[in-house]
Amino acid sequence: MGKNVVVLGTQWGDEGKGKIVDLLTENADAVVRFQGGHNAGHTIVIDGKKTALHLIPSGVMRPGVTCVIGNGVVLSITALQREMAMLEEKGVPVRERLRVSQGCPLILPVHVALDQAREAKRGIKKIGTTGRGIGPAYEDKVSRRGVRLGDVFQAGFKEKLTEVLNYHNFMLKEYYGAETVDVDQCIAEVIADAKSILDITTDTVSLVHEIRERSGNIMFEGAQGSLLDIDHGTYPYVTSSNTTAGGVATGSGVGPLYLDQIMGITKAYTTRVGAGPFPTELFDDNGKYLAEKGQEVGTTTGRARRCGWFDAVLVKHSIRINSINAICLTKLDVLDGLDIVKVCVGYQDEAGQAVAWPASSEAFDTVTPVYVDLPGWHDSTVGAKSLADLPKNARAYIEYIEKAIGARIDIVSTGPDRVETIVLKHSFEL
């Protein structure tokens, strides 16, 4: 029998999922994206050459791997076209490898306009969205007025899209005082764009089950991180989809009993893009060190990431809500050169009492992290391929994190390239 493995982030995204999916797909038959949109950013480095992906699954760089954009993904066809063109310029035969669900809700120009108008109106209270229309597209989906990719080829599509555009244009003009979207132009563009990917549009639920039923190995690739989940993240500073393991079933059509393993990708420190709670955030030289050495700039937005110490409380929460059974620790090499590395092992409230998990974003702002100081290391870990290659204190750091989060670490990433990896246990080989 084949294996169905889920790979997702345990923090606020940017954990290095792209590299790990690419690494593990050597023996995969398919890689499936099940949520999010082109607000995601996965960077793959192969032989020193970088490839940044946003919509297309990271397995696209592997010959013979079928890449699937599932029904849980909100789709900007223009963003997909740009990404496909970029890959084709690199010699990647995208159309041979990629299939897109006919059930994908479409991100329309009016969604982008709404997203940006809302953030502008919020001012200093903005959530920090990417401004790419993700949230408004999901809102239309949930309200049952959304337009899906398969709808474009059905009778009555123009009337349906016109109704959606008129609805949102009214809000743009009357409430936000923003420019509206030209209805006729939008209809023509959506039809033309949909026709351009008609050959790769299909019933992906049936496709994925066909691969599963012939004992194929399937990787499910999460976007963003678990703490950005609409239900279990640091609400309202979250994304608009379920980034946790539960989203795999709804966003791909593969039931939970078919999932064999769930791997959590965890950065050796903590980062966050945009607004929202961040108990271990650093505003000192250590924070600058992590940001500079880790090149902490968002793949999608280009925004600087906020940096802080490793937070075991957050990761334990992610392990619980995802039933994660193994961890891949990434960017260990960024910690090289620090005299002391800290791990947050708990929170205290203003009265000094232990807090298990803050009930709201406002509650997060009142907690103080409880740290354990560990000795750092000055020898390089870059490119290490075995545990024996690591400095003693780096090995001790890995062992301490395992105990602090209550989960085993199977893989350690020591650099961006797929070969710069230590495999401690082989439980996730496909």
User: Which residues are catalytically annotated?
Assistant: 14, 42, 141
Residue 123 annotated in ligand binding: no
Residue 78 annotated in ligand binding: no
Q: How far is CA 185 from CA 31, 113, 165, 173, 237, in A?
A: 35, 15, 11, 18, 34
Residue 332 annotated in ligand binding: yes
Residue 125 annotated in ligand binding: no
CA–CA separation, 347 and 353 (whole Å): 8
Residue 39 annotated in ligand binding: yes
Q: Which residues pair with 258 in a beta bridge?
A: none
Residue 333 annotated in ligand binding: yes
CA–CA separation, 392 and 377 (whole Å): 8
> Is residue 176 within 8 Å of residue 122, measured between CB atoms?
no
Residue 16 annotated in ligand binding: yes
At residue 72, the 3 state secondary structure works out as coil
Residue 266 annotated in ligand binding: no
CA–CA separation, 20 and 348 (whole Å): 34
Residue 42 annotated in ligand binding: yes
Residue 19 annotated in ligand binding: yes
Residue 291 annotated in ligand binding: no
Residue 162 annotated in ligand binding: no
Q: How far is CA 48 from CA 82, 191, 415, 420, 423, in A?
A: 23, 39, 11, 11, 20
CA–CA separation, 108 and 104 (whole Å): 12
> Is residue 276 within 8 Å of residue 308, measured between CB atoms?
no
Residue 209 annotated in ligand binding: no
Rama region for 418: left / alpha / beta (φ>0; ψ in -120 to 50; rest)? alpha
Return the amino acid letter for 287: G
Strand pairing category for 42-46 and 49-53: antiparallel
Return the amino acid letter for 130: T
Q: Residue 110 is encoded by which pair of tokens?
A: 């009016």
CA–CA separation, 427 and 411 (whole Å): 10
Residue 54 annotated in ligand binding: no
Residue 392 annotated in ligand binding: no
List, as residue ranges, the binding site: 13-19, 39-43, 130, 144, 224, 239, 299-305, 331-333, 413-415
Which positions make up the binding site for substrate?
299-305
Return binding residues for Mg(2+).
14, 41
Annotated binding site for IMP: 14-17, 39-42, 130, 144, 224, 239, 303
